[in-house]
């Protein structure tokens, strides 16, 4: 730590901090990559199953995650770029593309139910609303198979905006899920005013939960709150059978994680159809 202060002290006044410069350069590079992917239509969704906890385990619905392709064609996951673009115009464009890809997938696969992530910032973004309106005009029933996921922080930052939007979407049959539940600060006084149909408990509380008594208490409490408001409870980041068994024992309705399948750019339901077709041939 002393060496760090010495380096800073030895820097000429007005000189650029090399670490800060590297961070800025990295962020700009990431933003440029995402912008290029959007410009050249190099985006797609990766799909991950969300499984029912009780009875014969079957898929309740899928989540579609936005992905971009870099200049080499490599698929880049959202965690590598979304923090850099979330609060920018580029973030809104990605929300538009994710919604468009998702609604097209629903239109092509009538038996599928799909959740798509969005930011509360996109509610007032005209292009995003035009994408939604255009698809619903083509097929008014698409909304009945669409789940929109809004992060806890995003929802709580603009509660009136989110509540009004959810109210307006009721007529289309669109469901809503509160993503990253427990990771932020939920204003309980506002919680009851939302129209969330489901909550997704943040993965930080779920990983290795069978051996972590503190997280067991937290997830029990979060599950109890959601159940009090008749919300479906989904646990994220379920990675081993012991965690799954504990979650089932406390009444979690659905589970999502690598235990059941990693996100795949090939729609899993299409792969299942291919396998059934080969088996019957």
Q: pLDDT tens, 156-189? A: 889 999 999 999 999 999 999 999 999 876 667 7
- The whole-angstrom separation of Cα 178 and Cα 252 is 15
Q: Has residue 176 been placed in a domain?
A: yes
Query: Within this chain, do residues 66 and 125 fall inside the same structural domain, yes or no?
Result: yes
Per residue in 246-265, pLDDT tens? 999 999 999 999 999 999 99
Burial of 109 from C-beta contacts in 10 A (0-12 / 13-18 / 19+): middle
Does pLDDT of 108 surpass 50? Answer: yes
Which of 194, 166, 199, 197 has its CA nearest to residue 182?
Answer: 199
151, 85: one domain: yes
Q: Say how many residues make up the chain.
A: 281
199 pLDDT tier (thresholds 50, 70, 90):
very high
Based on the domain organization, do 20 and 56 belong to the same domain? no
Indicate whether 190 belongs to any domain: yes
List Cβ<8 Å contacts ≥24 apart for 245-249.
Answer: 245/210, 246/209, 246/210, 246/216, 247/53, 247/206, 247/209, 247/219, 248/53, 248/54
Question: pTM here?
Answer: 0.87
Residues 89 and 19 in one domain: no
> Is residue 31 within a helix (H) or strand (E), and if so which, with residue range?
helix 18-39
pLDDT the model gives residue 191: 79
Instruction: Read off the pLDDT band of 1 (50, 70, 90).
Output: very low
pLDDT of residue 4: 43
Of 28 and 277, which is predicted with more confidence?
28
Asked if the model's pLDDT at residue 267 lies above 90, the reply is yes
Does any domain span residue 183? Answer: yes
Above 60 in pLDDT, residue 3? no
- The mean per-residue pLDDT over the stretch 56-74 comes to 93
Residue 147 has pLDDT above 90, yes or no: yes
CA distance 155 to 60: 24
- Average pLDDT value for residue range 77-90: 90
Is 141 a domain residue? yes
Q: Are residues 171 and 219 in the same domain?
A: yes
Instruction: List the domain range (segments joined by +) for residue 20.
Output: 1-35
Q: In terms of domains, do 23 and 148 share one?
A: no
**Rounded distance between C-alpha atoms, residue 199 and residue 232, angstroms:** 6
């Amino acid at each position: 730590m002393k060496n760090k202060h010495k380096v800073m002290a030895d820097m000429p006044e007005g000189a650029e901090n090399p670490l800060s410069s590297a961070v800025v350069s990295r962020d700009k590079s990431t933003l440029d990559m995402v912008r290029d992917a959007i410009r050249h239509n190099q985006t797609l969704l990766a799909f991950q199953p969300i499984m029912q906890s009780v009875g014969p385990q079957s898929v309740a619905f899928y989540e579609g995650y936005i992905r971009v392709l870099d200049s080499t064609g490599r698929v880049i996951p959202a965690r590598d770029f979304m923090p850099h673009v979330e609060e920018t115009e580029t973030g809104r464009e990605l929300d538009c593309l994710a919604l468009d890809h998702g609604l097209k997938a629903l239109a092509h696969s009538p038996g599928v139910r799909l959740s798509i992530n969005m930011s509360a910032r996109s509610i007032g973004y005209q292009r995003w609303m035009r994408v939604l309106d255009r698809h619903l005009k083509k097929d008014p029933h698409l909304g009945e198979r669409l789940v929109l996921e809004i992060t806890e922080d995003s929802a709580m930052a603009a509660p009136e905006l989110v509540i009004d939007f959810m109210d307006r979407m009721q007529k289309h049959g669109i469901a809503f899920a509160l993503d990253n539940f427990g990771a932020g600060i939920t204003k309980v006084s506002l919680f009851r005013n939302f129209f969330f149909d489901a909550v997704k408990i943040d993965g930080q509380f779920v990983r290795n939960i069978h051996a972590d008594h503190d997280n067991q208490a937290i997830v029990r409490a979060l599950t109890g709150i959601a159940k009090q408001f008749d919300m479906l409870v989904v646990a994220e980041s379920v990675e081993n059978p012991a965690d799954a068994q504990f979650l089932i024992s406390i009444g979690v309705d659905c589970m999502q994680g690598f235990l059941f399948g990693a996100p795949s750019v090939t729609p899993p339901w299409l792969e299942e159809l291919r396998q059934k077709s080969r088996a019957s041939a």
